[in-house]
Chains A and B, each alone.
Chain A
Amino acid sequence: MTRQADIAISAHPAPHRERASAVALAYALGGAPGAWLLHLLVNYGMADRACASHAALSAWSAVVLVDVVAITIATGAAAVSYELFRRTRTEKEGGVQVLVEAGEGRTRFLAVCGLLASGLFLIAIAFDLAGPFMGLSCA
């Protein structure tokens, strides 16, 4: 049925893999992008509806509300990413610079990716606030 596998890796690519649960990593990596995509679709749908029924003011406050919720989720993802990175930063030799250049240490690699992704999508969500505050309306 089975045969000898004869493969084991002495230098595992992720010595700290036990320090980051799959759920935490998934939220760290997917939280901010997910929040952004959802907020975009909801915002677009609501703005469309509100504009069709000439309720620009309600669109304005709804957009701001959705943005705040999305920013909260994304900030949470950033915080979780940072915590995971703090726990795994010594996974392989070399600091952040080496990590960014060589990518060694799979767990801390994903944690840093989560941190960077959360940052980018926080910018993307915050950017949407510009529309309502610049006084854009339905015209």
Chain B
Amino acid sequence: MADTVIAPAADLPIGPMGHRALGWWGMLCVIATEGAVFVYLLFSYAYLALQPHAAWLPEGPPSLTLALPNTAVLVASSFIVAWGERRIRAGATRHAWLALLGTIGLGIVFVAVQLTEWHDKTFGIATSSYGSLYFTITGFHMAHVAAGLLMLAALALWTRLGLFDSRRNAPIAIGAIYWHFVDVVWLAVFFTFYLSPRLV
């Protein structure tokens, strides 16, 4: 009978390291549960949309004039933050900082355009079930963008203070994956509200 041998082996890193950090795994779980929130929200949209209605869309399919470029803005911000994440792993702290600021900038543009869209609607949250869904779901998404912006702002500050380098940068990876998630959710929301009425 042999004991399970414990012998000196490779060096183990100490503390959080990139995707091996526990926080990274925690964020994946957060994304799963927040993703579920949006699945249930979009299910609610589909469920109510499929009920017989006199007039489901108060203004016809929502206009793409602002929404389409705004979608491009958000997608672009994801690429920038991904670039920043690559740069910090290469030790380029300043580039990472600039990338985070750029992402924040585009995120703010997205929110501003969304608020303009809200402002221009001729219906409100209490007008009909469609209005309730539209403002609640885009509002939920905007709240997630706002949370992402706060996260990015903290990361930008910490990067500027030199707290991160090529080895210690797990928080940036964690913030970036959340931002990608917010982006992907927007694509689902965009498809549901802006594209799906054009398909049927």
Contacts and interface: CB of A to CB of B under 8 A. Distances in A.
B4 interface: yes
Contacts, number: 44
A10 B11 contact: no
Interface stretch (A1-9, A66-74, A105-113, A130-138): A1-9
A3 B2 contact: no
Contacts of A6: 6-9
Contacts of A86: none
Size class of B's contact patch?
10 to 19
Contact of B12 (A5, A10, A11, A48): A5
Contacts of B12: 2-3, 5, 7
A2 B11 contact: yes
Contacts of B10: 5
B60 interface: no
A3 B13 CA distance: 7
A105 B7 CA distance: 22
B11 A8 contact: no
B13 A2 contact: yes
Interface string B1-36: 010111111111110000000000000000000000
A4 B8 contact: yes
Contacts of A54: none
A5 B6 CA distance: 10
A7 B9 contact: yes
